[in-house]
Structure 1
Amino acid sequence: MKTRQAAILVLFLSLSIAAILSSCSSLPENEPNANSTGDSIISHLDLLVDTDPEQCIAVISNLFEQQREKNQSFDNSIIGEKGIVLFRKAVENIGFLFKKAIASQDILTARRLSFSADALVQYVSFYDSLGEIVSEELSMIASPAMRLQLALWEAENKFKEHGYVIGKATLSKAHLGEQEEYSFNKIEDFSIENLKSLIETRDPKEYFITWAERAKENNDVNAEAWFESLSSGQMSYSPSILVSDQDWLADAVSSVVTVYVDRGFKVEGGYSVPDRVLGTAFQISEGLYLTNYHVVQSEIDPTYKGYSRISIRPSDNPQIRVPSKVLGWDEELDLALIQSAEHARSTVMLPPPGMRFHAGDRVFAVGSPIGLENSITAGVVSSLSRKIISFGEAAQIDVPVNQGNSGSPLFSENGVLVGMVFAGLPSFQNINFALPVQWISLSLPDLFERKEVIHARLGLMMGKGSGQSPLVLADLDPSLSAFIAGDTLTSINGKLTKDIASIQFQLASVPKGALCFLEAQRDFKPVRRLRQISHTDGASLIPAWDRIHKNSILEGLFGARLTQLKESTKVGGLYSIQWVCPAEPADEIGLSENDVITVYKFRLDEKNKVFILEFSAKSRLSGYFERTIHLEFSTESATII
């Protein structure tokens, strides 16, 4: 956990670099000379290199890349040759801290440092002048084989602490994040013997045999098949071997309970009426149930000041209410883990990685619509990849959904859990949504931490674009500002970027604070950055309002790169449009490159959680007819990675 001293140093360093390197007009008139400011930055990097070497590396590499983009050598940066020296020391400290974490059995820190080392190795491979900095030891720390050992170690600890379900979920999450790297061909590049100098190792096949036995003991036939395939050296798993009990529907019904949240009374039409929330939950381990966050929100939302009591109604005895409590919750994925003394007669097992459903698949939901317990509804998957939530994606289904169905498990025809119902559109028939099971698997280990799940991000606001890779709309990091609107993000940690949801899926397995290696294209030239996954504001843009230049937020919401024709520290006035992102608001209202707009108002309405933009435009596509336009944008963005 980062110390308060490190946080202060990072903030001071960020402000110092921003004051020197930013081209915005908010720079002070009497700017300090380059040498004195460089010395100031160096003195703070000297401290940061020991307290937070990953942040130190991110800052220095950003300076390096600014030099490369100007076709200048690294040692000509604002901190001169000292940059290489500090970069080398920070890299060495990653190795030192990794060994310290292993010695103290701090697996989370060790995993974070392994991910950072991997990103670092990829970055320095582009530069001969930095190549010698990477030692054989660092390469071992960065290897997929090391991360597999750490994942197995963490899963064992979770198994001993919480039991089979959380241990398996930990392995599933690690596998989902790095399926391509967990091939034995790559793992053999660093044999177990090589890793023994850093960590106490064990043959992964032995682990998988043990986990197959545990799966068998828990009647988890799908996981048993998965672990057996892993123990035989098949790191890829085919869903076609998934099997299920013929009486799966009866078991599914007996695993489901009704969630009942009593919120006292509310006033309607001058009368007090009971305020109740109904939902569904399903048992994943004895006394542990998954449901939707919005069902139990009043139990954990600090802004809710009223009365709230949660209980469950068993499917075989719906007349009783058993008190329950919320253990962990994930607001962005609309998930919550609740605990109760009541044990359902059956348990739903999450499938192993590789399970996917497809458009046209027949699915079944088991829940309590309007409180009617044990109701089974059926339908098909209408479509996949609906980006209607801020983190992740949803599947569209035509299974009937009513109040009380929230949290219902969604099963395939052979009884395998494929998702969870979480939303419906009351005004439209047969347009409902479910969270695919792979997103549940990613969040489940964190739900057991008995607190809110925070999905850390890189701090980039993205647009879909019209090509194969998503486009940057705004950089929400005020200290680096390494990316500009219009940059095409091509890869993260060596993996090609497909869309926003797939990037979020990839990053969900990266520990908070780890370095990531980003590659992009700007005007057909490469942009490379090492960047920490440390943005913890979630989907909200409100914290960024006072932290970064408001023009950046305007660009991100508007979907265009803007040049303010009259330099100002404030947002507003004349802007020239330099680039427009396809399918974003600027494009939808007919604006194009070289059009000029006049912004009259751009403000935050925090009470209603919207940004308000008023402007006039003379666009080429509208025959230069002047229009005055009023737009409102939600303060929650589903496109932040």
Structure 2
Amino acid sequence: MGNTRRLPAPVRVCMTCATALLAILAASATAVSCASAVERLRPPRSTLELRLDDIEASIESEPELAIHRLGAFAALYPAGRSEDGAKLASLGELALHSLEAAAGKAIDEKAWPLAASRIRSLHALGKGEGMPSEAELLLFEARDRLSAGEDLEAFVAASASDALSPLVASDALSFFARAAALGQRGNAAFFLAAAERAGASADADSRAWALGQDSAADMIRGVATVWVDRGIRIEKGLGLPDRVIGSAFFVDKRGLLVTNYHVIASEVDPEYEGYSRLYVRLGDDASARIPAKVVGWDRALDLAVLKVELVGEYVFSLLGGANPLVGDRVFAIGSPAGLEKTVTAGIVSAAGRRFLQLGDALQIDAAVNHGNSGGPVVDEKGRTVGVVFAGIEQFEGINFAVPARRLAAALPAMTRGGKAERPWLGLTVDEGRNGVQIIYVAPGTPAADQLFTEGLFLKSVGGVLLDAKSLIPEAQDILFPRRPGELVAVELSDGKRLVLAVAARPPLPLVTAAKVDSRERMAAPLFGLILSPASGSGLAPSFSVKKVLRGSVADEAGLSENDPVEIRGFSMDEENGIALLDLFVKKRRMGYLETMMRLPALLDSPDTL
């Protein structure tokens, strides 16, 4: 004790103060950390400028957008001034009258797709009584297209009309006669069945022909090889030819062919700056390359329509091909490695695979290699059931095709020319026990404008009810034909019914969102990791896992609810379509073992609306 050095009293007092100060700082750091965590999980503020005068100015030219903005104004300022409420009601009436007039004008001008869009917008508002039905508008379009010699568009519109309201016998027989004259057996069989449902039929010989079957030798004549010459690429100091080889097949006598978007991407991608020339080859003669041009494309479905100045010897029918069942025998036709006229056989291994941005895909085990992309898949009756678009190189017999029904639905937008714009609400969703659940609302989107709430369930979209058994592709199918700017009504599980104008879907929606949103919020749509704020002891924001989506990247990594988490890094590789999330985790199931982990995810999510 005698040798113990005592600190002077003033120093002891200072140490006491220091201890207190450290405690205060620690408490402040915890408060700052928690507050920061809450802030980072809060959706970004809307950048939508809402001034009633500006909305009023847009009513005549863009009535749907004006109605959307009026709804956003009411959502953002629910307790506004009484004069604002009166003006909102007045502007709403003006916008409705403008939309009704625009729909009538589209009908008068026989702009049938635009008329259908505007009438659907009126229906979303509970209006549109006395207007033609969508089935009638499609039939009007089909008749006009048939008269103009646009057979592909006519047949697709007529089949869509028949799906909504059965064709009358006279119309069905008219389309049957045209398909028979063109030698398109599958399309003829479709309209023959429609005529017979309406109580009519064709003569015995025509009926027997329509119910017959085309041979593989016939169909091969309708398949072409696609060559995209991209000049020379330099690899390890050597100049090598840079070519993309794919397949395509004729779908109309005007020289229209279907292929994959990724085969011809260099022809239309604005970010591609190199040389690109597109050719089609119909035979084995390597010198017989026919110049082709891209008419339209749908990146979300990996489809494109080409045109050449000649008529194919065989035109594939796109109607009447029933959805194939698992185990059904199928055949893929194409040019693997540039070897034309190659037919491979297999079965449908699975249906409903989620390998596309929108909708599902068929899995087949028919041999597919580089060069098969864009080729047709047909069943044993010769009916087109899909378009080859991908395979997994590391494994044999795991290949994928876009279903023919999705191709038929996508064709109208592609044949109109240019990029097919698909609708975008701004939602990432999940298939929960109670149905389709919103897990993320992207900033700057229609859903964000209307203050959609994450965690709610979709009860109906576009007037179509969704229940606990509904799947994401069902909701995507409802939205698929909608044009950007069109009004859609959405009912949520909190009882709200919101009407919003859909936007044009970005090529990679989550990339667009990640550039303006926090990395903590992006953990949900990309990695299936929903976070909540947690108190922490440091200056870095701390979180705990609120929910892990089943089958997600986070689920596969073994994360679970209530795991403490800190996000240490987030990056995107847009060229390769990958996002990376660096985490410091204390895994609860492993005794709170501290772990650093990196989660990879694809930027091309199929779970978006």
Answer yes or no: is the 8 Å Cα contact 1:418–1:437 preserved in 2: yes
Compared with structure 1, are the counterparts of its residues 283 and 553 closer, same or farther at alpha carbon in structure 2 (3 Å cutoff)?
same
Aligned residues: 552
Supply the AA of the counterpart residue of 2:479. Answer: L
The correspondence for 1:504, drawn from 476, 486, 493, is: 476
> Which range is displaced more, 219-228 or 526-535?
219-228
1:214 is the counterpart of 2:178: yes
> Which range is displaced more, 273-282 or 376-385?
273-282
Answer yes or no: is the 8 Å Cα contact 1:172–1:441 preserved in 2: no
Answer yes or no: is the 8 Å Cα contact 1:482–1:529 preserved in 2: no
Larger radius of gyration: 2
Answer yes or no: is the 8 Å Cα contact 1:257–1:344 preserved in 2: no
CA distance in 1, matches of 2:382, 2:260: 21
Supply the AA of the counterpart residue of 2:476. Answer: Q
CA distance in 2, matches of 1:63, 1:47: 15
Compared with structure 1, are the counterparts of its residues 345 and 503 closer, same or farther at alpha carbon in structure 2 (3 Å cutoff)?
same
- Equivalent residue, structure 2, for 1:473: 439
1:602 is the counterpart of 2:570: yes
Supply the AA of the counterpart residue of 1:365. Answer: A
CA distance in 2, matches of 1:242, 1:329: 34
Supply the AA of the counterpart residue of 1:541. Answer: L
Compared with structure 1, are the counterparts of its residues 140 and 274 closer, same or farther at alpha carbon in structure 2 (3 Å cutoff)?
same
Answer yes or no: is the 8 Å Cα contact 1:473–1:560 preserved in 2: no
- Equivalent residue, structure 1, for 2:486: 514
Question: Secondary structure in 1 aligned to 2:453?
Answer: coil
- Equivalent residue, structure 1, for 2:130: 140
Superposed CA deviations along residues 473-525 of structure 1, whole A, max 9, x for unmatched, are 2112435253333222232123234222232222222222211111232xxx3
In the TM superposition, residue 458 of structure 1 has moved relative to its aligned partner by 1.6
- Equivalent residue, structure 1, for 2:531: 562
CA distance in 2, matches of 1:94, 1:586: 46
Compared with structure 1, are the counterparts of its residues 614 and 349 closer, same or farther at alpha carbon in structure 2 (3 Å cutoff)?
same
Answer yes or no: is the 8 Å Cα contact 1:602–1:614 preserved in 2: yes
Q: Map of 1:275-354 to 2, 5 A cutoff?
A: 275-286=242-253, 287-315=255-283, 320-352=288-320
The correspondence for 2:143, drawn from 147, 156, 168, is: 156
Supply the AA of the counterpart residue of 1:156. Answer: R
- Equivalent residue, structure 2, for 1:454: 421
Answer yes or no: is the 8 Å Cα contact 1:456–1:538 preserved in 2: no
Supply the AA of the counterpart residue of 1:116. Answer: S
CA distance in 2, matches of 1:305, 1:45: 39
Answer yes or no: is the 8 Å Cα contact 2:141–2:157 preserved in 1: yes
Compared with structure 1, are the counterparts of its residues 93 and 310 closer, same or farther at alpha carbon in structure 2 (3 Å cutoff)?
closer
- Equivalent residue, structure 2, for 1:493: 462
1:528 is the counterpart of 2:497: yes
The correspondence for 1:115, drawn from 103, 111, 120, is: 120
CA distance in 1, matches of 2:52, 2:562: 41
Question: Secondary structure in 2 aligned to 1:213?
Answer: helix
- Equivalent residue, structure 2, for 1:3: none
> Which range is displaced more, 75-84 or 398-407?
75-84
Superposed CA deviations along residues 71-90 of structure 1, whole A, max 9, x for unmatched, are x9x99899434433433333
Answer yes or no: is the 8 Å Cα contact 2:434–2:457 preserved in 1: no
Compared with structure 1, are the counterparts of its residues 95 and 75 closer, same or farther at alpha carbon in structure 2 (3 Å cutoff)?
farther
Q: Which runs of 5+ in 1 are unaligned?
A: 1-21, 29-36, 122-133, 185-202, 236-240
Compared with structure 1, are the counterparts of its residues 639 and 23 closer, same or farther at alpha carbon in structure 2 (3 Å cutoff)?
closer
Answer yes or no: is the 8 Å Cα contact 1:485–1:560 preserved in 2: no
Compared with structure 1, are the counterparts of its residues 43 and 587 closer, same or farther at alpha carbon in structure 2 (3 Å cutoff)?
same
- Equivalent residue, structure 1, for 2:451: 482
Answer yes or no: is the 8 Å Cα contact 1:156–1:167 preserved in 2: yes
1:223 is the counterpart of 2:190: no
- Equivalent residue, structure 2, for 1:250: 217
- Equivalent residue, structure 2, for 1:89: 94
In the TM superposition, residue 386 of structure 1 has moved relative to its aligned partner by 0.9
Question: Secondary structure in 1 aligned to 2:583?
Answer: strand
Q: What TM-score results when the alignment is normalised by the length of structure 2?
A: 0.80
Compared with structure 1, are the counterparts of its residues 608 and 429 closer, same or farther at alpha carbon in structure 2 (3 Å cutoff)?
closer
- Equivalent residue, structure 2, for 1:433: 400
Q: What TM-score results when the alignment is normalised by the length of structure 1?
A: 0.77
Supply the AA of the counterpart residue of 1:146. Answer: S
CA distance in 1, matches of 2:146, 2:209: 24
Answer yes or no: is the 8 Å Cα contact 2:296–2:415 preserved in 1: yes
The correspondence for 1:585, drawn from 541, 550, 553, is: 553
Superposed CA deviations along residues 194-229 of structure 1, whole A, max 9, x for unmatched, are xxxxxxxxx965444432332232233443343355
What's the % identity of the aligned pairs?
30
In the TM superposition, residue 258 of structure 1 has moved relative to its aligned partner by 1.9
Supply the AA of the counterpart residue of 2:62. Answer: D
CA distance in 2, matches of 1:542, 1:473: 16
Q: Which runs of 5+ in 2 are unaligned?
A: 1-39, 200-207
The Cα RMSD (Å) is: 3.5
Compared with structure 1, are the counterparts of its residues 375 and 229 closer, same or farther at alpha carbon in structure 2 (3 Å cutoff)?
closer
CA distance in 1, matches of 2:158, 2:596: 55
Compared with structure 1, are the counterparts of its residues 546 and 373 closer, same or farther at alpha carbon in structure 2 (3 Å cutoff)?
closer
Question: Secondary structure in 1 aligned to 2:68?
Answer: helix
Compared with structure 1, are the counterparts of its residues 608 and 351 closer, same or farther at alpha carbon in structure 2 (3 Å cutoff)?
closer
Question: Secondary structure in 1 aligned to 2:292?
Answer: strand
